[in-house]
Structure 1
Amino acid sequence: MTDEPTGSTTIRGRTVAFNEYGDPEGEPLVFLHGTPGSRLLGGLFDDTARRAGCRIIAPDRPGYGWSTSWPTRKLTNAGTIVAGILDAYGVADARLVGFSGGGPHALAAAATRSNRVREVHIVSGATPPGMGEPVATQQRLATLARRTPRLLGGLFRTQGWIANRWPNTVVSQFTTDPQGIPDTDVHLVASDFIEAVDGGASGAVAESRILANPWTFDLTDVDVATRLWHGHLF
Structure 2
Amino acid sequence: MSVTSRARSDQQVGTQTAEVAGEPVAYESYGDPGGEPVVFLHGTPGSRVLGELYDDAARARGVRVLAFDRPGYGQSPARDGYGPADTGDVVAAVLDDAGVESAGLLGFSGGAPHALAAATDLGDRVTRVDVVAGGVPASEREETPTPQRVLGTLAGATPRVLGGLLRGQAWLAARRPPAFVTAQYTTDGARDGVPDEVADVVKRDFLEALSERRAGVVRESRQFTEDWPTRPRDVDCEVRWFHGERDTNVPVAAARRTADALPDCDFRALADTDHLGALVESRGAVLDAHAPEP
TM-score (structure 1 length as normaliser): 0.93
Counterpart of 1:223?
236
Partner of 1:62: 71
Give the C-alpha shift of residue 209 in structure 1. 2.0
Q: 2:56 aligns with which of 47, 51, 57?
A: 47
Residue 104 (structure 2) pairs with residue 95 (structure 1): yes
Amino acid at match of 1:109: A
| Deviating 4+ runs (over 4 angstroms) | none
Structure 2: any 5+ residue segments left out of the alignment?
1-12, 246-251, 254-294
Deviations 1:156-182 (A, max 9, x none): 212211211112111122234333333
Which of 145, 154, 160 is 1:135 aligned to? 145
Q: Which residue of 1 aligns with 2:30?
A: 21
Output the CA distance in 2 between the equivalents of 1:224 and 1:24: 26
Per-residue deviation, residues 78-136 of structure 1 (Å, max 9, x unmatched): 11111111111221111001001001100110111122111111111111112122222
The residue number in structure 2 matching 1:168 is 179
- Residue of 34, 47, 52 corresponding to 1:38: 47
Tell me if the contact between 1:19 and 1:57 (Cα under 8 Å) persists in the aligned partners: yes
1:109-148 matched pairs, under 5 angstroms:
109-133=118-142, 134-148=144-158
Secondary structure of 1:217's aligned partner: coil
Structure with larger Rg: 2
Tell me the distance in 2 between the aligned counterparts of 1:210 and 1:70: 15
SS in structure 2 opposite 1:114? helix
Q: Counterpart in 1 of 2:4? A: none
Distance 1:153 1:62 in 2: 15
Q: What CA distance in whole angstroms lies between the structure 1 residues aligned with 2:56 and 2:220?
A: 30
- Asked whether the equivalents of residues 148 and 224 of structure 2 are also in contact (C-alpha less than 8 Å), the reply is no
CA distance in 2, matches of 1:147, 1:45: 37
| Secondary structure in 2 matching 1:151 | helix
Separation in 2, partners of 1:95, 1:150? 36
Could you tell me the percent identity over the aligned residues?
46
Tell me by how many angstroms 1:185 deviates. Answer: 2.0
> Residue 226 of structure 2: which of 201, 213, 232 is its match?
213
Number of positions where the alignment pairs a residue of Structure 1 with one of Structure 2: 231
